[in-house]
Amino acid sequence: MDQERLLHVIRKLAIQAGERIMEIYNSDDFEVRTKSDESPVTEADESADRLISAGLRDAFPDVALVTEEQAASHRHSGDTFFIVDPLDGTKEFVRRRGDFTVNIAWVEGGTPRRGVVYAPARRRMFLTLADGSSVEETGPFDPEQIGATTPLRVAQADNAALRVVASKSHRDAETDAYIARYEVGDVKSAGSSLKFCLVASGEADLYPRLGRTMEWDTAAGHAVLAGAGGQVLRFDDLAPLSYGKDGFANPFFIACAPSVRLEES
């Protein structure tokens, strides 16, 4: 895989999908439907999915592609593929709260190696470069050329005052009970895969997820965090979270800086 070309393609598609999403987000109204799993879907999800899928299939026709909006048709087997959530945080989109992202990742050997997380309403973009390191791009988000970037690196955690980030839409009593095991200095809420990026940027130390997620929800953020020196571990045995699982469902997991002293499940 040509890593420079890979970066160019997924970044460009994320920006183009973000533009399409924002056109709908800024419109007077848009339809919201409910999928079979009771999650919401909008025209923005489907339009972004079509754009990204067409772009990836054109650029990399021999690489398998998995997307949230086409999940019912996936018959994927293997551990190397693209995985896409065209609009992660649809609930945040519907509520016009801004914490939604475009997620595109390349998984190799069951591990997310490259990814882009673009939050068009927040004007924040996080991505892995061709060498595997992660940066935040600060704009102006020209589809053809990377702008100014800031290197990302996880913080050295203060275990006597951890900074925790949790889901804005899916936080529950089990998550709160787990957080209570730590000495916490600050807890903030964020939507979508931005939680991974807050750990990657050193703005948070620990993101526990004790709830249902799918691989397309996490792969791009996982890649960004890994490129910043962070880790994503299964909650049950603290083994690295892997991808290409049957059905693409994740177990509970913990994303964190390696300096966090993790409590056993």
Q: What is the pLDDT of residue 172?
A: 82
Among candidate residues 119, 151, 183, the one where a domain is terminated = 151
Confirm or deny that 79 is annotated as ligand binding.
no
Q: Please tell me whether 69 is known to bind a ligand.
A: no
Q: What is the pLDDT of residue 6?
A: 98
206 annotated as belonging to a binding site for a ligand:
no
At 36 the pLDDT is 60
User: Do 39 and 113 fall into the same domain?
Assistant: yes
State the amino acid at position 155 in one-letter form.
A
Provide the pLDDT for residue 40. Answer: 72
Among the listed residues 111, 63, 82, the one whose alpha carbon sits nearest the alpha carbon of residue 13? 82
- Please check whether residues 195 and 241 belong to one and the same domain: yes
Q: Please tell me whether residues 182 and 239 are part of one structural domain.
A: yes
Asked whether residue 41 carries a pLDDT value surpassing 90, the answer given is no
Q: Is residue 261 part of a domain?
A: no
In the predicted model, is pLDDT for residue 74 greater than 70? no
CATH number, domain with residue 74: 3.30.540.10
Residue 194 — pLDDT band, cuts 50, 70, 90?
Answer: very high
Closest Cα to residue 48, out of 6, 7, 104, 4? Answer: 104
135-183 confidence digits (pLDDT tens): 999 989 999 999 999 999 999 999 999 999 998 767 788 999 999 999 9
Q: What is the torsional sign of CA 195, 215, 255, 6?
A: negative
- Determine phi and psi for 43, rounding to 5 degrees: -60, -35
**Widest CA span of the chain, in angstroms?**
50
The answer on 172 and 48 residing in a single domain is no
| Higher per-residue confidence, 22 vs 90 | 22
State whether 81 and 166 are in the same domain. Answer: no
pLDDT category of residue 264 using cuts at 50, 70 and 90: confident
Report if residue 265 sits inside a domain: no
Predicted local confidence at residue 191, as pLDDT:
83
Domain interval for residue 49? 3-151
Q: Per the structure, how many domains does the chain have?
A: 2
Is residue 87 assigned to a domain? yes
- Shared domain check, 119 and 245: no
The reply, when asked if residue 28 is annotated as ligand binding, is: no
Name which residue leads in pLDDT, 189 or 205.
205
Which of 37, 42, 47 lies closest to 71 in space, CA to CA? Answer: 37
Mean pLDDT estimate for the chain: 93
- 23 has binding-site annotation: no
Instruction: For residue 204, tell me if it sits in a domain.
Output: yes
The answer to whether residue 66 is domain-embedded is yes
Tell me: the pLDDT tens digits for 109-131?
999 999 999 999 999 999 999 99
223-239 pLDDT, tens per residue? 999 999 999 999 999 99
CATH number for the domain harbouring residue 216: 3.40.190.80
- The per-residue pLDDT for 263 is 86
Pairing relationship of beta strands 40-42 and 101-108 according to DSSP bridges? unpaired
pLDDT, average across residues 10-31: 93
Residue 215 lies in a domain: yes
Say whether 85 counts as a known binding-site residue: yes
Pure H helices in 26-66: 43-59
CA distance 261 to 162: 10
67 within a domain of the structure (yes/no): yes
131 annotated as ligand-binding:
no
Q: Are residues 43 and 86 in the same domain?
A: yes
Q: Domain for residue 263, yes or no? A: no
Pair 139, 11 in one domain: yes
pLDDT for 221: 98
First-to-final CA distance of the chain = 38
Based on the domain organization, do 98 and 179 belong to the same domain?
no
Q: In angstroms, what CA-CA distances link 86 with 2, 90, 94, 186, 217?
A: 23, 10, 15, 31, 10
Which pLDDT belongs to residue 88?
94
The answer on pLDDT for 71 being more than 80 is no
